[in-house]
Structure 1
């Protein structure tokens, strides 16, 4: 069994990084969606949501970088290019969203997609003994579960 630089099975790790690349694509599409919400939001909640979306896209761009670096650490190459992201992502591009409730509903739907996918990848990583990926995704899941609760409370 051939090992990568950090001592994990190369073949099994390749399958994991393929899934991480799909997750990276999801994050890139969500990042651009949230960036668009930040730019285009209108209405009486403008100031509050404009700031919230900036907080979100700042967090998302950090996660994009962390995922890409994790893929490199595991011995693979992160995908790049928006055509590839759109082809791989399970999160759809949303355009011209200007209304706050609609934007938040899009974010919540994206979080549901991310949470399901991240739990599946976390299980795979755990089975491979890949504690680095487990820790990374565990932190993402915890943060997004709380954010989901808060965004749902905002919509009430």
Structure 2
């Protein structure tokens, strides 16, 4: 349900299309925030011979993700809907599960590859809705996000070879 506005939204997208896209973006936001938290946690807790490399890599990735969650949330708002912003909402919406304890560095990498690929799949689902509705702004955002996560998954995966 869109929030009450003083002026109706008339950007060439129907309310049902905007709502469907906002719902998909909310899942994308939840996945991205969960990945942000997982990456930051691993940054803090990584140990072992790859410490410096992974500590730096994880910091680069979580810093980029912090900007991304803002962009996704603002796109949801631009469509006229409230952005989810609590852990409870993110847990319900996210396809990425939290990691209990502190895994070894190699397991951290594997979990982050898996999580980045999950974000890509979520983006692809929402991208289809946005394309069908003619929402080029969301298509552009999701295309950029997919590119970032594909590159991150590749870079992380390279540490496992």
Q: TM-score, normalised by structure 1?
A: 0.93
Aligned length: 154
- Unpaired runs of 5+ in structure 1? none
Pick the aligned partner of 2:70 from 58, 65, 75.
Answer: 65
Equivalents in 1 of 2:125, 2:93: separation in Å?
16
Q: CA deviation at 1:37?
A: 0.1
Pick the aligned partner of 1:119 from 103, 118, 124.
Answer: 124
Maintained 8 Å contact 2:35/2:116: no
Pick the aligned partner of 1:12 from 11, 14, 17.
Answer: 17
- Unpaired runs of 5+ in structure 2? 1-7
SS in 2 for 1:155: coil
The equivalent of 1:87 in structure 2 is 92
Q: CA deviation at 1:115?
A: 1.1
The range that moved more, 11-20 or 92-101, is: 92-101
Equivalents in 2 of 1:146, 1:106: separation in Å?
15
SS in 1 for 2:89: helix
Equivalents in 2 of 1:5, 1:53: separation in Å?
41
Pick the aligned partner of 2:51 from 46, 54, 59.
Answer: 46
Q: TM-score, normalised by structure 2?
A: 0.90
Distance 1:47 1:98, change over 3 A: farther
The equivalent of 1:139 in structure 2 is 144
Pick the aligned partner of 1:28 from 13, 27, 33.
Answer: 33
